[in-house]
Amino acid sequence: MAFAKHWHRAHQHAQQEAAAQEALVHLQTAYAQVTVPVLDDLARRTPGNQTKHRYARHLQQAAPEHADRILQGPAWDALATVLTDAETAGHNPTNLFDQAIGQRTLDDARNPARALTWRIHHLGQRHAPGLRAQAAMASAATHTATLTGQHVPSGNRRIAFPL
List, for the chain, all residue ranges whose pLDDT scores fall below the cut of 70: 1-13, 127-163
The predicted structure's pLDDT at residue 158: 36
- Residue 30 burial (10 A CB sphere; 0-12, 13-18, 19+): exposed
The predicted structure's pLDDT at residue 68: 95
Q: Is 117 within 8 Å of 107 (Cβ atoms)?
A: no
C-alpha to C-alpha distance for 97 and 119, rounded to whole angstroms:
9
Q: Is 155 within 8 Å of 163 (Cβ atoms)?
A: no
Q: Using CA atoms in the order 118, 123, 126, 130, what is the torsion angle rounded to 10 degrees?
A: -130
The predicted structure's pLDDT at residue 153: 44
**Inter-CA distances, 7 with 3, 21, 86, 107, Å:** 6, 11, 39, 20
Query: How do residues 54-83 score in pLDDT, each as one tens digit?
Result: 999 999 998 999 999 999 988 999 999 999
- Residue 128 burial (10 A CB sphere; 0-12, 13-18, 19+): middle
Q: Is 84 within 8 Å of 47 (Cβ atoms)?
A: yes
The predicted structure's pLDDT at residue 20: 79
The one-letter amino acid at 4: A
The predicted structure's pLDDT at residue 162: 37
